Structure 1
Amino acid sequence: MSPRHRNGTHQAATVIAIVADVMALILGLWILMYLLDANSANDLVAFIRDAAHWLAGWSYDLFTFDEAWARVVAGYGLAAVVYLFIGHAVAGRLRRH
């Protein structure tokens, strides 16, 4: 494999890992903002909430804990862990090839 091809693959792996990190960061920020009862009228809080809701659309209602905070931590936290795991696994696989 040529060094030029390997460099392009390495760059793609880096981009995938960074995207996964940003997605997990948004989800983590929302969990933190929810737990700290951030002002929902604030534009930044609303943006993070909406982005996190979109990113965790498949997992945010997955758990049925009695406490709302536990549902938020488990649902959004699961999405963050899955994005980190998959993103870094794909990036690692690209770097090895």
Structure 2
Amino acid sequence: MVAVTRSNVVGVLAGVVRWVGLIFAVVLVVHVLLTVGNANPANGITKFFSAAADPLALAFKDLFTPDNAGLRVLVNYGLAALFWLIVSSVLSRLVRRLA
């Protein structure tokens, strides 16, 4: 009984870790799409995703500095999205193995 409950809790925790990483990546990708697509920067949706993506980009925000702003966002925030997908996948597997 305890093993089944522990297994369920570990499964849920690993799933939450994966979902959080996926949500972070989606926010970053939407920000990239809005920026590259020249969305209106005064629009509420664009402002929301820009504000949400900035802290999620971590040190990737200014890793590469090409002159083209769209390319800069695509590369830096795209790398940050990839980072969150990889980290959440690794952490999810680690949670499953440690438990």
> For this structure pair, what is the TM-score category when the shorter chain's length is used for normalisation?
over 0.9
Measured after TM superposition, the shift of residue 3 of structure 1 is: 1.1
Q: Tell me whether 1:24 sits opposite 2:14 in the alignment.
A: no
Q: In 2, distance between residues paired with 1:77 and 1:87?
A: 16
Which residue of structure 2 lines up, in the alignment, with residue 3 of structure 1? 4
Q: 1:1-97, aligned counterparts within 5 Å?
A: 2-96=3-97, 97=99
Q: Is the 2:65–2:72 contact (alpha carbons within 8 Å) kept by the matching residues of 1?
A: yes
Q: Aligned with 2:58: secondary structure?
A: coil
TM-score (norm 1): 0.92
Q: In 2, distance between residues paired with 1:46 and 1:52?
A: 10
Q: Which stretch of the first structure deviates more once superposed, 38-47 or 63-72?
A: 63-72
Counting matched residue pairs gives 97
TM-score (norm 2): 0.90
Measured after TM superposition, the shift of residue 40 of structure 1 is: 1.1
% of aligned pairs identical? 33
Listed as ranges, the gaps of 5+ residues in structure 1 are: none
Listed as ranges, the gaps of 5+ residues in structure 2 are: none
Q: In 1, distance between residues paired with 2:67 and 2:44?
A: 29
Q: In 2, distance between residues paired with 1:64 and 1:39?
A: 22
Paired AA for residue 24 in structure 1: A
Larger proportion of helix: 2
Q: Which stretch of the first structure deviates more once superposed, 57-66 or 38-47?
A: 57-66
- RMSD over aligned Cα atoms: 1.3
